[in-house]
Structure 1
Amino acid sequence: MNRIQQKKDYLKQSLSLLRDKFSNIPADKSVIHKVASPLRLEHAKGIVADAILKIMNDHNLQMLALLVNSCRSEVVKILNEYSEKYFKELKWAVIDEFGSVILKLNTNIATHNYLLPPLLDDLEESSESSDFYAKSTNYFSAINQNLLKIVIYHWRLFKNATEQGYLSASELILKSNVSQASVSNFIRYSLEKNYLLKHKIHNLYKFNNNCLEDLLEDWSFYYKNNYGKAIRFISYDTTYSIDTLLLKVKVLRDHNIRIAIGGFLALELQKLNYVSDIPDIRIYTDNIKYTKDELDLIEYQSQDDVTGRKIIELVSPKAEASIFSHIMNKDIPICDIIQCYLDVRHKASRGMEQADFIKKSVLL
């Protein structure tokens, strides 16, 4: 099976899964299935325009489904622009190879975001192709999370500059302290996904801000499903204050425990909190048992134990470099803003609201 056919089959399978949630998704025979490359936006525009003409002239066709490898936001802009101008009733779905989907079935319904199983390798593919796409499923590995933060922060720091906004592979190796092979794989896939742009003359790389929102969405979905479970504790007594906690964290740091405060509390300490109440406190540490004892915490049993106490989550991160190499405050160790975004993004207690505030006010 060639790669294009594999992608079309994946697109059809994804729509089949979505029909379990949305009965008004048409049958495959009424859907135009296309594979588009956001690296060639003119090609995507042609696909959308051609599909609109076909749907307008054939009552058996009702929907356009597009599979893209990255930059969903750019394709969605094209779909919205063309449907508004030529055919407002257009139904469409944009799905990427990570399994994220943006779906619009009715002009009166807001765009929906869901996560499907990612596109997997076909065993009949060549070894080179299989190796490349296997790497794609590990894009948010421990090493790559560290590299992503370096690239994004370097771009944010110099986003109003010109050449200073670029990083060479050698600079990235130096800043991340990882192997040349790891950086090369990261750059290769980032270029393919269009997250990085290459400066042809100087062989330098710059972050593509147009894809930042897509990247954050992909990363947050990975984070939710793969980052591991936090262990919940509560403070020993009801007089336990935030100031007491911060003092104890500083002592742990002085005792060479790798530790950093994340989530809502870190945002409040950076004066970036949009949500006034802190639902829980997240702390990253390389030694949960020692940290728990030094912070005077007891194990969380049930909600009945919480009254008047703080819920504190202790997490031993898989991607230690991504946490402990990007601390924002040397006195009180605080996670960087990207990590805080990931921490709150999936929290039920107004976490999405806080994450959107961070994304719009700081990251984008």
Structure 2
Amino acid sequence: MDLFRDSGWEVRREPQVPGEADLVVKNGNREYVIELKRAPESRRDRVVPLLAEAILQAQAYAQKIPQARGLAIIASPHLSSAVVEQALEFHHNYAPDVAVGFFDDRGFRVFRAPGLESLNSPAPQIDQRRRAVPESQSYALFSDLGQWMLKVILAQHIEPRFLSAPRRKIRNASELALAAGVSQVSASRLVRQLEAEGFLDRYADQLELVRIEDLLEEWQAAERRAFKEIPCRWVIPGHGRKQLESALQDYSARQIHQQPAENYGERSSPRVCLGLFAAAEALGVGFVQGVPPVLYVERMQAELIQQLGISQERAIQADVYLRIPSHKESIFRAAVEHKGVLASDALQVWLDVSNHPSRGKEQADRIRDQVLSPLLSR
């Protein structure tokens, strides 16, 4: 392999017979027996089993060559950092003594092998070089309406109780615009950008996303931005949660029936929904306790604060946080009603809690397993 030769390693290709390694590479006193597996897709359920098989075979082959170590390598047209991290976690837990490596056709490379560290090439640098569309001409996939349209496309693979969106076969940008309630121009730009980024199946008879793991990884990164969050306290201490629940039910009942969905921008009262762990609890997938609830509010309004029974005054230790999102339509259009209270959708919760210090990763993993698995297993 040129990758090793260019780095000064002697490469010996073994005969393609059962029970023999794919390659043997040597540099000074270091020698590796390589078992190479190619993963057609960047998915955990594909990459980790292939890695496990490659590790076992590399270990067996290395026993036949004194002083050599096994090196299990996974190659793929496109590997996401998230999947590689999951594979490395498997490697660390079950076979830390075996050297491993990962690379893809873009040039992304990760090696956990003494003497091969210089071959590593991080994904972010490669991702910046690979973009086919100049940044100045590209449509932001993760703009407010962009995120909402992505949720509409993905909704057919997520149960309605976890995400509120039209569920229908969408064959083109025109039908996406109609389903999402956005302009034809916005929908067309999103579809073109999905195609340019390689996230759209060009051969499907409808808008079908591919490389979803990579798309969600980029979506997560786009959501790690500053937001306005306001700490508040209960007006009546000790009865705050019951009071909040009751107030939200009353407020949400008026909100739900206030206007048709197509008139979101004309509402006089700000939209409100539970967010983060409080939303996860309402959706039936929560397990983190003791974290002050977060409410997404469209905008601050004195009447809203009063109706919710909270106050911004002397809120040094917050009982509840009001969060004003930058992507309002994506959050409020997809919110799910549960017992008269609106909660942000499960995909949004997954995006929001993934990097939260209060056991956010565990909460995100639960949502991934219980809600997003049909989406990711395709």
After TM superposition, the score normalised by the length of structure 1 is 0.64
Change (3 A) 1:93 1:75: same
Q: Which residue of 2 aligns with 1:266?
A: 279
**1:171 aligned counterpart, secondary structure:** helix
Larger Rg: 2
Change (3 A) 1:336 1:119: same
Give the deviation of 1:285 after TM superposition: 1.0
Change (3 A) 1:90 1:205: same
1:50-84 Cα shifts (integer Å, max 9, x gaps):
xx845x233378799xxx9x846487358616633
Q: Which amino acid aligns with 1:270?
A: L
What fraction of aligned residue pairs are identical, expressed as a percent?
21
8 Å Cα contact 1:344-1:351 kept in structure 2: yes
Aligned pairs for 1:37-186 within 5 A: 53-54=22-23, 56-59=24-27, 71=42, 73=44, 76-77=47-48, 80=51, 83-84=54-55, 86-87=57-58, 89-90=70-71, 102-103=84-85, 104=88, 107-108=95-96, 117=124, 119=126, 129-131=132-134, 135=138, 138-156=140-158, 166-169=169-172, 170-186=174-190
2:136 and 2:44 map into 1 onto residues whose CA distance is 22
8 Å Cα contact 2:280-2:349 kept in structure 1: yes
Change (3 A) 1:182 1:79: farther
**1:218 aligned counterpart, secondary structure:** helix
1:166 and 1:357 map into 2 onto residues whose CA distance is 28
Identify the range of structure 1 (280-289 vs 233-242) with the bigger mean alpha-carbon deviation: 233-242
Q: Is 1:283 paired with 2:292? A: no
Q: Is 1:345 paired with 2:327? A: no
Q: Which residue of 2 aligns with 1:222?
A: 222
Give the deviation of 1:261 after TM superposition: 0.9
Give the deviation of 1:252 after TM superposition: 3.9
1:343 and 1:298 map into 2 onto residues whose CA distance is 23
Structure 2 gaps of 5+ residues are: 10-20, 60-69, 103-109, 111-121, 161-166, 256-268, 374-378
**1:226 aligned counterpart, secondary structure:** coil
2:215 and 2:132 map into 1 onto residues whose CA distance is 23
Give the deviation of 1:355 after TM superposition: 1.3
Structure 1 gaps of 5+ residues are: 1-11, 13-25, 32-51, 159-163
2:142 and 2:75 map into 1 onto residues whose CA distance is 22
Aligned length: 295
Change (3 A) 1:73 1:140: farther
1:272 and 1:339 map into 2 onto residues whose CA distance is 13
Identify the range of structure 1 (183-192 vs 237-246) with the bigger mean alpha-carbon deviation: 183-192
Q: Which amino acid aligns with 2:177?
A: I
Q: Which has the higher helix share?
A: 1
Q: Is 1:327 paired with 2:335? A: yes
Q: Which residue of 1 aligns with 2:164?
A: none
**2:341 aligned counterpart, secondary structure:** coil
